[in-house]
Amino acid sequence: MKRETFSSGLAVFFATLGSAVGLGNIWKFPYLTGQYGGGAFLAVYFLCILFVGLPIMVSEFYIGRKTRKNAVGALEELKPGTSWKYIGIMGALSSYLIMFFYSCVAGWVYFYLFKAIKGDFAGITMANAQSQFGDVIMGPVSPIIWQFIVMGVVATILAMGVKDGIEKITKTLMPLLFVLIIICDIRALTLPGAGEGINFLLQVDFSKLTAAAVLTALGLAFFKLSLGMGTMITYGSYFTADNNLFGTAAKVALSDTLVSLLAGIAIFPTVFSFGLEPSAGPGLLFMTIPLVFSQIPFGNVLLVAFFFLTSIAATTAMLSLVEVPLAYFTEERGVARPKAAIINAAVIAIIGILATLSVDKSSLLGSYTFLGRGFFDWFDYISSNVLLPVGGLLIAIFIGYRVKKEDLKRELSNHGRLHIDSILNVYYFILRYVTPALLLIVFLNSVGILKF
Ligand code: PFF
């Protein structure tokens, strides 16, 4: 069977952006920025995107498009019979871990969409917003049902294929998401006291910065740009032959960061205007957005549109997460695509129940913690803060020290058709020296070997 590719440069851009933009921007970015003190965290996050995220993204694109294979097969082809393929296997493992909690949060988003359609948020107050969120996550049965619905949607789109599934959905809906967040921003910025929220985002106070905040910013950069776990290798394998890989990486990273900032601008003015705590944690999105649109004409219609688009963003990101093991099973193990889609989705939905039930701290599962974290938090912590950065470090070492510079130049210049000499030199230097050094320092510090 002929291997599929995306059909144009625009399709490549929207599909890749569809992977990057997701709950990471709308849910995780605002609440982490809130917990770690605003502007200073943001500044470190930008540096991580520039010096770690971008070079690794280009490297993953290179591995994928050069070999046109899934993450495991691609590394095996570049260095046959070596252990480098374990980067791909570790990637598939990270994909499952992320999906266990991601599908849970996506379930809350779908549930919120349903509640918005029913009109449950009409005339909502702050106390009401908090109690509705509590009811949604504590179910205990309804969040599990929504998690299963989410995985049903993901499996269906994936079974349709790369072009008819992933490409079609992302190309239509990503532009809409931008428009909607901007409408949200305009409303949030016109709330009384909005300026305080913007100050919180822009005031850089490095004295608030801790080592944990730096590690979190780094983990968030990986999570945001879908790096360190083979997603961009897999998507890169579907890129067109004439795509400018540097250009795509820059455009995706920039647009993705813009969406995160726009989400922050929608959320923080509301937090301050209604007297919520910026450090409220994972519920921040769910408690603020219904308030943004309360008491304005057409507020409920906008709320429905907002949660619809957040559902889309979450869904397109999940397509890319599940595509990593899916491409492996179809190409390396000969499993038919629809069958692989259904089995993977079912396994994720079933194990994901652990994450969903662990959120209710008064339940049996929720009160069970290991070293201070429950299932949900462990899945999140191990993937974002450990596996993705380790995967990224290995990719940087692989490309920086195991692949010849001429080979890189040939593929990244599309066999000499693009003039990339100066950008290639900058990229190569950063990838060999700066990226691994930064990753190592943050790591050694986080495990307590290096103290500063
Ligand atoms: N980038 C996605 C987000 O920010 O929501 C999440 C994600 C997708 C992480 C794909 C990792 C991945 F491979």
Task: List pLDDT tens digits, range 406-429.
Answer: 999 999 999 999 999 999 999 999
Q: Is 257 in the pocket of ligand 1 (CB under 6 A)?
A: no
Helix (H, G, I), strand (E, B) or coil at 443: helix
Q: Is 154 in the pocket of ligand 1 (CB under 6 A)?
A: no
Distance of alpha carbon 414 from alpha carbon 200, whole angstroms: 44
Q: Model's pTM, two decimal places?
A: 0.94
Distance of alpha carbon 79 from alpha carbon 74, whole angstroms: 9
pLDDT digits (tens, 9 = 90+) for 111-147: 999 999 999 999 899 899 999 999 999 988 999 999 9
Distance of alpha carbon 112 from alpha carbon 128, whole angstroms: 14
Query: Exposure of 334 by Cβ count < 10 A (0-12 exposed, 13-18 middle, 19+ buried)?
Result: exposed
pLDDT of residue 357: 94
pLDDT digits (tens, 9 = 90+) for 308-324: 989 989 999 999 999 99
pLDDT score of 2 more than 80: no
Helix (H, G, I), strand (E, B) or coil at 396: helix
Residue keyed to tokens 């809409």: 176
pLDDT of residue 452: 64
Distance of alpha carbon 415 from alpha carbon 401, whole angstroms: 21
> Separation of 252 CA from ligand 1 center, angstroms?
13
Q: What is the overall mean pLDDT for the chain? A: 92
- Name the helix (H) or strand (E) containing 101: helix 86-118
351 pLDDT band, cuts 50/70/90, is very high
Count of C-beta atoms within a 10 Å radius of residue 163: 15
Amino acid at site 357: L
- Name the helix (H) or strand (E) containing 201: helix 194-202
Tokens of 313: 């963003």
Which has the closest alpha carbon to 147: 373, 358, 370? 358
Average pLDDT over residues 342-354: 97
Tokens of 275: 């007297």
Q: Is 155 in the pocket of ligand 1 (CB under 6 A)?
A: no
Give the list of residues 6+ apart from residue 104 with CB closer than 8 angstroms, or none. Answer: 143, 147, 352, 355, 356, 359, 376
pLDDT of residue 208: 78
Which has the closest alpha carbon to 390: 451, 319, 439, 336? 439
Q: Is 20 in the pocket of ligand 1 (CB under 6 A)?
A: yes
Candidate from 16, 17, 19 with most ligand 1 atoms within 8 A of CB, to mutate: 19
Q: Is 63 in the pocket of ligand 1 (CB under 6 A)?
A: no
Residue nearest to atom 7 of ligand 1 (CA): 226
Residue keyed to tokens 């290096």: 450
Three state DSSP letters for 124-153: CCHHHHHHHHHHHHHCCHHHHHHHHHHHHH
Helix (H, G, I), strand (E, B) or coil at 373: strand
Tokens of 134: 């509590």
Candidate from 231, 257, 384, 395 with most ligand 1 atoms within 8 A of CB, to mutate: 231
> Separation of 195 CA from ligand 1 center, angstroms?
30
- Tell me, rounded to whole angstroms, the distance of Cα 42 from its chain centroid: 16
pLDDT of residue 366: 73
Residue nearest to atom 12 of ligand 1 (CA): 226
pLDDT of residue 1: 58
Distance of alpha carbon 391 from alpha carbon 378, whole angstroms: 18
Which has the closest alpha carbon to 149: 99, 102, 106, 97? 106
> Separation of 296 CA from ligand 1 center, angstroms?
33
